[in-house]
Structure 1
């Protein structure tokens, strides 16, 4: 009886440790808060975060990424990569330009935010 209880506790401990490693290193589920990614992701949608891929490669254009906010803490942003390091971005009159070419999928008809950038913005080697 005592051996079977110890065996059960050991199994539970291993399962908890395995779940902890998965959450910390591989991925976790989170909820979208806000409307900035519509129509692709909606407020309160559940998404699975992949914490492993970008340890082996950099983000690619049009991938959706999650990154910490400038304040740190528990605030994270969910956004789509439209420009890569070294490229130049310009947003004017509801149109997005990367290296002076319009990115038609991200015009004012496809976004919820009508922001403008004053001038062009050049991304450094670690910016997306």
Structure 2
């Protein structure tokens, strides 16, 4: 068992091969997001940017409370873990695609989901994963 001080300095202990797979997915999603933004422009661009930064807005949910460097406050962990799971953007993109009236009709909300998934993939490739109930990296 590691001490809290040791956990502060480390990221996820995910194997390099898994992190490389996340990085490959992230590179693919980055190209796809940029392609969608360039192709559709308009609202697709700000929603793509928002989709990329939105998961980290969960840091502000329940942000008060005692915590150490590298640890999230207990009130933040639930929201953080919820928006940092790939299931959320995959469901979002599926629903958006099913509700589309035709090609490109829902490009902006679909790109939001793509950028959200890109954020998750890049976090995982850099070693940032889900948090334990007490706020430390798993």
- TM bucket (normalised to shorter chain) is under 0.3
Q: Could you tell me the TM-score, scaled by structure 1's length?
A: 0.22
Higher strand share: 1
Larger CA Rg, structure 1 vs 2: 1
Higher helix share: 2
Higher relative contact order (CA 8 A, sep 6+): 2
